[in-house]
Amino acid sequence: MKFSQRPLALAFVLFCVAASSCNKKQEVGIPVGQFASLTGGQATFGQSTDKGVQLALDEINGSGGVLGQPIRMITKDNQSKPGETSTAVRELITRDKVVALIGEVASGRSLEAAPIAQRSGIPMISPASTNEKVTETGDHIFRVCFIDPFQGTVCAKFASKLGAKKAAIITDVSKDYSLGLAKSFKQEFLKEGGVITGEQSYSGGDKDFSAQLTAIKSANPDVVFLPAYYTEAPLIIRQARQLGITVPFIGGDGWDSSELVGVGGAAVEGCYFSNHFSNQSTDPQVVAFVDAYRKKYNQDPDAMVALGYDALRLLADAMKRAGTTDPAKVNAAIAATKDFPGVTGKITLDEHRNPTKPAVMLQVKNGKFTYVETIAP
Q: Is the dihedral of CA 334, 340, 343, 349 positive or negative?
A: positive
Q: In the complex with ligand PHE, which residue's Cβ is closer, 177 or 272?
A: 177
Single residue of 129, 160, 274, 337 touching ligand PHE by CB under 6 A: 129
Identity of residue 139: D
Site pattern 173..212 for ligand PHE (x: CB under 6 A): ----x-----------------------------------
Provide, rounded to whole angstroms, the least separation between the CB of residue 72 and ligand PHE.
26
Single residue of 32, 60, 89, 106 touching ligand PHE by CB under 6 A: 106
Provide, rounded to whole angstroms, the least separation between the CB of residue 48 and ligand PHE.
8
Per CB under 6 A, does 304 bind ligand PHE? yes
Per CB under 6 A, does 128 bind ligand PHE? yes
Q: How many residues bind ligand PHE (CB under 6 A)?
A: 14
Provide, rounded to whole angstroms, the least separation between the CB of residue 335 and ligand PHE.
21
Closest CA to 32 of 78, 76, 79: 76
Per CB under 6 A, does 131 bind ligand PHE? yes
Closest CA to 233 of 211, 260, 267: 260
Q: In the complex with ligand PHE, which residue's Cβ is closer, 106 or 235?
A: 106
Single residue of 84, 112, 132, 253 touching ligand PHE by CB under 6 A: 253
Per CB under 6 A, does 105 bind ligand PHE? yes
Closest CA to 108 of 83, 90, 125: 83
Per CB under 6 A, does 46 bind ligand PHE? no
Per CB under 6 A, does 137 bind ligand PHE? no
Q: In the complex with ligand PHE, which residue's Cβ is closer, 103 or 194?
A: 103
Q: Which stretch binds ligand PHE (CB under 6 A): 26-34, 101-109, 191-199, 262-270?
A: 101-109
Q: Which stretch binds ligand PHE (CB under 6 A): 54-62, 160-168, 251-259, 315-323?
A: 251-259
**Length of the chain in residues, anyone?**
377
CB count in 10 Å sphere of residue 313: 23
Q: In the complex with ligand PHE, which residue's Cβ is closer, 212 or 275?
A: 275
Single residue of 37, 78, 85, 107 touching ligand PHE by CB under 6 A: 107
Q: In the complex with ligand PHE, which residue's Cβ is closer, 6 or 368?
A: 368
Per CB under 6 A, does 50 bind ligand PHE? no
Residues 6+ apart with CB under 8 A from 95: none
Q: Which stretch binds ligand PHE (CB under 6 A): 193-201, 253-261, 312-320, 362-370?
A: 253-261
Per CB under 6 A, does 232 bind ligand PHE? no
What is the phi/psi pair of residue 375, to 5°? Answer: -115, 115
Q: In the complex with ligand PHE, which residue's Cβ is closer, 36 or 93?
A: 36
Contact indicator for 54, 62 with CB cutoff of 8 Å: no
Per CB under 6 A, does 147 bind ligand PHE? no
CA torsion, points 143, 45, 249, 234, in degrees to nearest 10? -170
Angle formed by the axes of helices 284-297 and 303-322, to 10°? 110
CA–centroid distance for 349 within its chain = 17
Provide, rounded to whole angstroms, the least separation between the CB of residue 16 and ligand PHE.
48
Phi-psi region of 107 (alpha: psi -120 to 50; beta: other; left: phi over 0): alpha
Closest CA to 41 of 212, 210, 235: 235
- Alpha carbons 263 and 231: distance in angstroms, whole number: 9
Single residue of 65, 254, 308, 342 touching ligand PHE by CB under 6 A: 254
Single residue of 303, 305, 315, 364 touching ligand PHE by CB under 6 A: 303
Residues contributing to the site for ligand PHE (CB under 6 A)? 45, 105-107, 128-131, 177, 253-254, 256, 303-304
